[in-house]
Amino acid sequence: MLNHFLTNATGLSHRPKYYQNNRFVLFLWVLITLIFVIDSWATHRYNNYLIFENTFRNLLQQKSLYAWYPAYHEDANHYGPIFSVLIAPFALMPNWIGLLFWNLFNCFLLFKAVQTLPLAEDKKVIIGYIAIPCLIESMLNQQFNAGAAALMILSYTQIDKGRGIWSALCIVLGTFIKLYGVVGLVFFFFAKKKPVFVLWLIMWSIVIFLLPMLFASPDFVVQSYIDWKNSLIGKNMINVSGGEDISIMGFFRQLFNSPKIPNLLFIGLGALLFMLPFRYITYFSKSKFQLMILSSVLLFPVLFSTGAEDCTFIISITGVGIWYVKENNKVLKNVLLPILLFITCNFPLLLFPTFAKAHRLSLSIISFPYFLVWLRVINIAINDKLIHEEETEPEMDTARVD
């Protein structure tokens, strides 16, 4: 399907078509970003960005980073205290300019992260196309999720390149912003100098923890970490009890009409499956195994988070892309991917919003095809035959986007 579309024309020319080039993918990504920035300007829809940029002002004034501020925006912040420092350069700009550069920052960061993957250029192009539906949702909602996905990818690719110091920074920064990044700790198993890597993790944790104290008192920052924990607990309770829980837990609770099935049951089973591949130490040096672990890292935290939203799946879709370009079962990949992309577009909500909101299964079903991909990724990672399959193309970092 997608491979066929992007394959060079045979018998005519060996030069790739313009749409088979990463520069064209970048052009599409930037175009999508600009379209939704202009849409936000035209409709004065800044709410999520206002939540983010207001955290820097609140940090300076030592006002709660997690309280509601209806005079400025709806909803509340749920990112860690360090996020208020990350958003600072954008918050200093007028809102309309800040929003533009914020979305472009997230777009470019994820694109560049994909370029660091140890894959041939044509496979990075495929991942770029697969990510577009979720990129649209992410840019529409002005979210940091594309940046979060980038940090998770870089957590692996930097350690793969022997740059443990930067891998550790990406893991710690991603964790202190959104918690999802903590799953990147499994890349410890791929570190060549494990004791040094642990030292970098500790060093960066101290730096990131203390950094907001350059702008506010230590007491305020420590209290902000406590408030962050409480805000996440509160958000989880709301999502489980009556919110739009589109995690895989929410899907099965809706499917079986059993709202009291505890998260712990799902997360416990999910964690066991997530860690299962690490029994196979002899696979650790295999590139395909490492990429399947990266794919699992990108899929797992979104699937098993009650705080997941439509726009959060930009994290998981990159994991899907990695699975797709490494999957050798053509029937499986060419059936499962179209279904996943169709459901990702959330047509029930777009076409029948009243029905979709009244029947929450139609919303939570978005996680199910991602769950199937994740199960397949785990299957590949623990299957000796699939891990040792000979590659038909060299896996090298050939892409250059100047």
Per residue in 129-153, pLDDT tens? 999 999 999 999 999 999 999 999 9
Rg of the chain in Å (alpha carbons) = 21
> Please, which pLDDT band fits residue 311 given cuts at 50, 70 and 90?
confident
Amino acid letter for position 377:
V
Distance of CA 158 to the CA centre of its chain: 17
Higher pLDDT, 293 or 3: 293
Lowest-pLDDT range of 4-18, 35-49, 80-94: 4-18
From CA 248, how far away is CA 367, in angstroms rounded?
6
pLDDT at position 259 is 77
Answer yes or no: is pLDDT of 389 > 80.
no
What's the average model confidence in pLDDT over 273-293?
93
> Please, which pLDDT band fits residue 356 given cuts at 50, 70 and 90?
low
Answer yes or no: is pLDDT of 49 > 90.
yes
Task: Centre a 10 Å sphere on the Cβ of residue 355 and count the other Cβ atoms it contains.
Answer: 11
What's the full length of the chain, in residues?
402
The single residue listed with the structure tokens 């909500």 is 349
SS3 107: helix
Amino acid letter for position 359:
H
Sequence-distant (≥ 6) Cβ neighbours of residue 12 within 8 angstroms: none
Per residue in 315-348, pLDDT tens? 999 999 999 999 999 999 999 999 999 888 876 5
Sign of CA dihedral 91, 97, 102, 108: negative
Per residue in 61-118, pLDDT tens? 999 999 999 988 888 999 999 999 999 999 999 999 999 999 999 999 999 999 999 9
Separation in Å, CA 389 to CA 198, 286, 374, 378: 33, 11, 19, 16
pLDDT at position 400 is 40
From CA 91, how far away is CA 318, in angstroms rounded?
28
From CA 354, how far away is CA 148, in angstroms rounded?
31
What are the two backbone dihedrals, phi and then psi, of residue 65, each rounded to the nearest 5 degrees?
A: -80, -10
Write down the H helix ranges in 163-286. Answer: 164-178, 194-210, 218-241, 248-255, 263-275
| Long-range pairs for 22-28: beta carbons < 8 A, 24 or more residues apart | 22/115, 22/121, 22/124, 22/125, 22/128, 22/399, 22/401, 23/401, 25/111, 25/124, 25/125, 25/128, 25/129, 26/111, 26/128, 26/401, 28/128, 28/132
From CA 125, how far away is CA 25, in angstroms rounded?
7
The single residue listed with the structure tokens 């944790």 is 205
pLDDT at position 241 is 67
**What's the N-to-C CA distance of the chain in angstroms?**
29
Helix H or strand E segment including 28: helix 22-43
Note whether 287 and 152 are within 8 A (CB): no
pLDDT at position 257 is 81
| Residue 192 DSSP symbol | S
DSSP 133-158: HHHHHHHHTT-SHHHHHHHHHHHHHH
SS3 280: coil
Residue 401: both structure tokens together: 């986007």
From CA 267, how far away is CA 264, in angstroms rounded?
5
pLDDT at position 398 is 41
Answer yes or no: is pLDDT of 276 > 90.
yes
Per residue in 176-202, pLDDT tens? 999 999 999 999 999 999 999 999 999
> Please, which pLDDT band fits residue 397 given cuts at 50, 70 and 90?
very low
Domain map of the chain by residue range? 18-387
> Please, which pLDDT band fits residue 363 given cuts at 50, 70 and 90?
confident
Answer yes or no: is pLDDT of 52 > 60.
yes
